[in-house]
C-alpha cells in the first residue's frame, strides 16, 4: 500500500487545526499535509510535527485572497511582484517546517488577459520559484485542478502540466497528480499514472462524486493502489478529502 498523509485542512475538522496533528498520529498516519500554514507561527506547527513524529509532506504557496475566490497568483502578469513575495514567505515556512515539496497554485485566468500571456507569465514565475527553492533541495509542484470546482482555473489537465514542466526546463519542477481532479477532467487514471510517473512527486486522492473518502464513489481505489505499488511509487499520497462523517470512523478504506 502507498504511504498516506492526512490532509489536515479537510480531515479531523471535529478539532481545531493545531489539535489535528495528535489526531492524525493517533489514527496511524506518519505524514500530514495541509493547504496553508500562514495563519500560525511556524514554531507552533513545527513543535507538533516533532512531538507526534510526523513528516510534513506538502503545503501550498499563499494563494492571494482565498475568501474572495482567489486561487493563486502565478498566471497573473499584473501581480508578479506579489507572487515573488509569496515565494519568499512559503520558503521561510518550508525551511522552518522541514518540508521538501511546495505546491504553486496557478490561479484563475485573469480578466482581459490573453491565455498566451498568462501561460508565459506562469512559466516565468515557475522558473523564478524553482530557482529560489533549488538551493534548499525543495521541489516545486504544479497541480491540474478541475474547472467545475474552480471555474476559470488556468491549469486543468495533466498533459498541459507536462508541457509546462518541459517548457520551464528546470530540474526541480514536478507534477502533483490529484486523482479526484483528474477523474473529473479526463479519467484514464491508471494509464496516466503510468505515463506521467517520472514527473510525479506527490499524489492526492478523494472519491468522485462528492470529494469524500475512497469507497464512497466511482473510483476503483484498490486497483489504483496496486498500480502504484507495481510502479514502485514511494512518495506520499495525500488524503485530501472531505469525510462523510467522523474522520476516524471513515478510515476503514485503508484496510481494503
Q: Find where cell 493517533 sits.
A: 26
**pTM of the entire predicted model:** 0.97
Q: Which domain holds residue 200?
A: 3-246
- Please indicate, yes or no, if residue 174 is contained in any of the structural domains: yes
- Please indicate, yes or no, if residue 254 is contained in any of the structural domains: no
Annotation marks residue 240 as catalytic: yes
What value does the mean pLDDT of the chain take? Answer: 98
> Cα(136)–Cα(167) distance, rounded to whole angstroms?
23
- Please indicate, yes or no, if residue 128 is contained in any of the structural domains: yes
**Mean pLDDT, residues 65-81:** 97
Tell me the percentage of the chain whose pLDDT exceeds 90: 99
Annotation marks residue 82 as catalytic: no
Cell, residue 9: 485542512
171: left (phi over 0), alpha (psi -120 to 50) or beta: alpha
172-219 confidence digits (pLDDT tens)? 999 999 999 999 999 999 999 999 999 999 999 999 999 999 999 999
34-70 confidence digits (pLDDT tens)? 999 999 999 999 999 999 999 999 999 999 999 999 9
Q: Which of 41, 55, 213, 240 is catalytic?
A: 240
pLDDT of residue 186: 97
* Tally of domains within the chain: 1
pLDDT of residue 256: 74
- Please indicate, yes or no, if residue 93 is contained in any of the structural domains: yes
- Please indicate, yes or no, if residue 139 is contained in any of the structural domains: yes
- Please indicate, yes or no, if residue 255 is contained in any of the structural domains: no
CATH number of the domain bearing residue 192: 3.20.20.150
**Mean pLDDT, residues 120-144:** 98
- Please indicate, yes or no, if residue 33 is contained in any of the structural domains: yes
Detail the DSSP E strand segments found in the chain.
Answer: 3-7, 31-33, 55-60, 101-103, 139-142, 173-178, 200-205, 236-239
Q: Which of 19, 33, 82, 143 is catalytic?
A: 143
- Please indicate, yes or no, if residue 65 is contained in any of the structural domains: yes
Residues in the chain, how many? Answer: 256
Amino acid at each position: 500500500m502507498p504511504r498516506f498523509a492526512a490532509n489536515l485542512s479537510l480531515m479531523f475538522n471535529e478539532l481545531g487545526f493545531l489539535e489535528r496533528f495528535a489526531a492524525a498520529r493517533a489514527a496511524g498516519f506518519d505524514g500530514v499535509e495541509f493547504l496553508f500554514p500562514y495563519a500560525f507561527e511556524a514554531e507552533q506547527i513545527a513543535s507538533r510535527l516533532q512531538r507526534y513524529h510526523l513528516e510534513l509532506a506538502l503545503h501550498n504557496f499563499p494563494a492571494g485572497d482565498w475568501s474572495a475566490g482567489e486561487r493563486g497568483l502565478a498566471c497573473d502578469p499584473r501581480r508578479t511582484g506579489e507572487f515573488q513575495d509569496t515565494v519568499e514567505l512559503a520558503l521561510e515556512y518550508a525551511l522552518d517546517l522541514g518540508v521538501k515539496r511546495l505546491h504553486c497554485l496557478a490561479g484563475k485566468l485573469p480578466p482581459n488577459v490573453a491565455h498566451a500571456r498568462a501561460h508565459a507569465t506562469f512559466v516565468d514565475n515557475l522558473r523564478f520559484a524553482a530557482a529560489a527553492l533549488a538551493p534548499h533541495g525543495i521541489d516545486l509542484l504544479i497541480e491540474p485542478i478541475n474547472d467545475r470546482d474552480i471555474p476559470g482555473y488556468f491549469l486543468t489537465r495533466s498533459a498541459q502540466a507536462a508541457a509546462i514542466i518541459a517548457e520551464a526546463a528546470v530540474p526541480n519542477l514536478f507534477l502533483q497528480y490529484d486523482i479526484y481532479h483528474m477523474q473529473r477532467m479526463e479519467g484514464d487514471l491508471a494509464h496516466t499514472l503510468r505515463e506521467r510517473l517520472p514527473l510525479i512527486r506527490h499524489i492526492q486522492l478523494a472519491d468522485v462524486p462528492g470529494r469524500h473518502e475512497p469507497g464512497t464513489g466511482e473510483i476503483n481505489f484498490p486497483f489504483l493502489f496496486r498500480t502504484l505499488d507495481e510502479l514502485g511509487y514511494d512518495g506520499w499520497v495525500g488524503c485530501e478529502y472531505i469525510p462523510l462523517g467522523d474522520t476516524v470512523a471513515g478510515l476503514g478504506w485503508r484496510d481494503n
